[in-house]
Amino acid sequence: MTKRLVIGTLIVGAIVGGYFAYQTMRSSGKRSLQVLQWIRDPQSHPEWVIPAGTRCGQAPFAFPTSGLPGFLWDDSFRPGHRHQGIDIFAGTAPGVTPVYAAYAGYLTRLPEWKSSVIVRVPSDPLQPGRQIWLYYTHMADQNGTSYIAAEFPPGTSELWVEAGTLLGYQGNYSGDPNNPVGVHLHFSIVKDDGLGHFRNELEIANTYDPSPYLGLPLNGKENPDTIPTCETVSE
């Protein structure tokens, strides 16, 4: 292969790679800027904040915490990454903004979980008979001090909670005290493995698009630019 051909191949590869990186990142680019601007000044767009407990239209789930749904399901923050849930930003300090159960079910908190709980819903309201799991995380400060409600200590298993039950408070725990995340709740809907256990939430293939469950456009690929807002609220 000649030197010119090698250089040409590398250039084409760089262009193709750049294109796919752009396609991956662009889904949340404009919205990411809006989120960052809002975090700096939450009063700038109060209409973007969805109050905890809001039901949009006829959606079965209530919004689990007050805040701005900034990063969505299937958003991409880097090439190869696909976000498995939604990130809801309160615009407050850690440990201030409450997190509530979006739907009734059986709560589990594994012994090692500092900031997370998961709720088993035996019958999916959108597909009766199918079991799903609702995962809530980042409910701790940057050092791992938990903001989860005292009623759910580590090791809690299959404890029934009603919709609207206080689960804890938004935090900024990332697992690394030197690199806390912004204060928010990460919420995802996790698939069952068919044996009565939840699948690995870190893989998007193991989660469901939360849009129909919350009545909001929460799919990052289908809603690349807009902060989701609740158009109609059910009684």
Q: Domain of 107: which CATH number?
A: 2.70.70.10
209 domain-assigned: yes
13 domain-assigned: no
Phi and psi dihedrals of 34, rounded to 5? -65, -40
pTM (two decimals): 0.86
User: Residues 129-141: pLDDT tens digits?
Assistant: 999 999 999 999 9
Q: How many domains does the chain have?
A: 1
222 domain-assigned: no
pLDDT on residue 235: 56
User: Residues 57-113: pLDDT tens digits?
Assistant: 999 999 999 999 999 999 987 777 799 999 999 999 999 999 999 999 999 999 999
121 domain-assigned: yes
38 domain-assigned: yes
Could you tell me the residue range of the domain that residue 55 belongs to? 20-214
d(CA 214, CA 209): 10
Residue of 31, 56, 43, 69 lying closest to 170 (CA atoms): 69
